[in-house]
Amino acid sequence: MINTPQQKRVLQSKLGRVRGLGSTREGVHHWWAQRMSAVALLPLSLWFVYSLITLTGSDYGTFHAWASEFGNSVFLVLLVVTMFHHTQLGLQVVIEDYVHSEIWKMGMLLLVKYGSVLFAASAIFAVLKISIAG
Amino acid sequence: MRDNTRPLSPHLQVYRPQITSILSILHRMTGVTLALAALLLTYWLASAAYGPEAFGRAQVLLESWFGRLVLFGFTFSLFYHMCNGIRHLGWDMLWGFDMPRLRITGAIVVITSLSLTVLSWLMAYGHVGKL
């Protein structure tokens, strides 16, 4: 047991002290979200690559019929959501590591975060339109 | 005020390249590449939502030699990032940090991702041949 003078004065619980650690006070949230999305992307990516192989050389009608199938539409939406979530988490770390000017860093982070939402929304809407509107 | 002239990590250029560091930076590079792949996937899905003409234009673009080259790079990036990602999940569970395991899992990642890339393209070409 550590008995530093500082610790004796702190009434906060151990859990309370551990929560929200890190420079941005977000604790392990980013790390955990990156891992969870990575695990989800394993089966989704393999399914997608296999689908692309079977779709190679298809015309519009074949692709449209494939993407309109209920299961395929659901998996496409899941892939797009998880993929862009994982992408923006990863790009955030790369930007934070390599871009040292505060203005550039903030600008690029905003671009990545807003851009991911924009492209994810577009891709989801495209899948829904193919699937529902035809 | 922050002093922007002080040295900042990571100092990629000051270290001798090693299998561990090369595979590590390759994970990031393939990750950034896959972000571009995500944009292409969005364009492809959107083109199909627009209609047959737009989808046809996208297919012509993707089937060109340049399109295939880009897609081949994206395929390798995906498989490398996936395989090395599994290696990362092992480290997260405190497995495989010793040098012999780092080397062997690194070699497995490179061989597996290259094999899966080539296999996928052979399967895709085989599928077209069947049509």
Express each pLDDT in B72-93 by its tens digit: 999 999 999 999 999 999 999 9
Task: Give tens-digit pLDDT for A72-84.
Answer: 999 999 999 999 9
More confident residue, B85 or A19: B85
Given a contact cutoff of 8 angstroms between Cβ atoms, the answer to whether A99 and A108 are in contact is yes
Q: Is the pLDDT of residue A95 over 80?
A: yes
B115: helix, strand or coil:
helix
Distance of CA A42 to the CA centre of its chain: 13
pLDDT tier for residue B129 given thresholds of 50, 70 and 90: confident
pLDDT at position B5 is 66
Distance from CA of B117 to the nearest CA of A (A): 10
- Name residues whose C-beta falls within 8 Å of residue B42's C-beta, 6 or more positions apart in sequence: A80, A119, A120, A122, A123, A126
Token pair belonging to B78: 């995906």
pLDDT at position A59 is 92
pLDDT at position B57 is 96
User: Could you tell me which CATH class the domain A33-133 is placed in?
Assistant: mainly alpha
Given a contact cutoff of 8 angstroms between Cβ atoms, the answer to whether A87 and B34 are in contact is yes
Q: Is the pLDDT of residue A3 over 60?
A: no
Instruction: Return the minimum-mean-pLDDT range out of A7-11, A56-60, A86-90.
Output: A7-11
pLDDT tier for residue B128 given thresholds of 50, 70 and 90: confident
State the best of B8, B34, B45 to mutate against chain A, taking most chain A CBs within 10 Å: B45
Given a contact cutoff of 8 angstroms between Cβ atoms, the answer to whether A77 and A91 are in contact is no
Write down the ipTM of this complex: 0.90
Element (H, E) at B75: helix B65-92
Given a contact cutoff of 8 angstroms between Cβ atoms, the answer to whether B84 and B114 are in contact is no
B30: helix, strand or coil:
helix
Cβ-based contacts of A53 with chain B (< 8 Å): 120, 123-124, 127
Scanning B70-129 for CB atoms below 8 A from A yields 75, 78, 82, 85-86, 88-89, 92, 120, 123-125, 127-128
More confident residue, A10 or A113: A113
Q: What percent of chain B has pLDDT over 70?
A: 89
pLDDT at position B70 is 98
Q: Rounded CA gap, B61 and B63, in Å?
A: 6
Angle at which helices A29-55 and B65-92 cross, to 10°:
140
Given a contact cutoff of 8 angstroms between Cβ atoms, the answer to whether B80 and B113 are in contact is yes
Judged by a CB distance cut-off of 8 A, whether residue B25 touches chain A is no
A52: helix, strand or coil:
helix
Give the CA-trace dihedral at A103, A109, A110, A112, to 10 degrees: 140
Q: What percent of chain A has pLDDT over 70?
A: 84
Q: Rounded CA gap, A50 and A72, in Å?
A: 12
pLDDT at position B31 is 98
Using the structure block, give the residue that is written with the tokens 């989704």. A44
Judged by a CB distance cut-off of 8 A, whether residue B56 touches chain A is yes
A99 to chain B: closest CA residue: B8
More confident residue, A23 or A108: A108
Angle of CA points B13, B14, B16, to nearest 5°: 90
Scanning A16-75 for CB atoms below 8 A from B yields 35, 38-39, 41-42, 45, 49, 52-54, 56-57, 60, 63-64, 67
B10: helix, strand or coil:
coil
Q: Is the pLDDT of residue A2 over 70?
A: no
According to DSSP H, which parts of chain A are helical?
5-9, 14-18, 29-55, 60-68, 70-98, 102-128
Q: Architecture of domain B27-130 in CATH?
A: Up-down Bundle (1.20)
Distance from CA of B46 to the nearest CA of A (A): 5
> How does the average pLDDT of chain A come out, rounded?
89
Q: Is the pLDDT of residue A14 over 80?
A: no
